């Protein structure tokens, strides 16, 4: 499935938000909630990586460059 650059940015933003949630739950005395959040973050991050790889192949560009552009776009909009 093809992804637009904007979709990649949204996917990265969702992964970053879940990472922040997992970090916030760390040490709050609810290990199941923390583990659930970490698993959700890992799943989202894996989805981002796969989408970035696919996008780079479709565009004929280097994967690392696409990843960097996505992360920069997320930072600019925060």
Secondary structure (H, E, C), 41-58: HHHHHHHHHHHHHHHHHH
Q: Enter the pTM of the model.
A: 0.90
How many helices (H) and strands (E) would you count in the chain?
A: 3, 0
Tell me how far apart the alpha carbons of residues 7 and 35 are, in angstroms, rounded to a whole number: 27
Summarize the confidence of residues 53-77 as an average pLDDT.
95
pLDDT at 77 over 90: no
The helix or strand, by DSSP H or E, that contains position 71, with its residue range, turns out to be helix 63-77
pLDDT digits over 13-53, tens only?
A: 999 999 999 999 998 989 999 999 999 999 999 999 999 99
C-alpha 26 chain-centroid distance: 19
């Amino acid at each position: 499935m093809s992804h637009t650059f904007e979709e990649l940015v949204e996917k990265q933003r969702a992964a970053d938000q879940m990472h922040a949630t997992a970090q916030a739950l760390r040490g709050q005395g609810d290990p199941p909630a923390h583990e659930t959040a970490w698993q959700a973050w890992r799943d989202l991050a894996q989805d981002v990586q796969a989408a970035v790889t696919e996008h780079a192949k479709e565009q004929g560009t280097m994967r690392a460059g696409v990843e960097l552009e996505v992360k920069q776009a997320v930072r600019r909009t925060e």
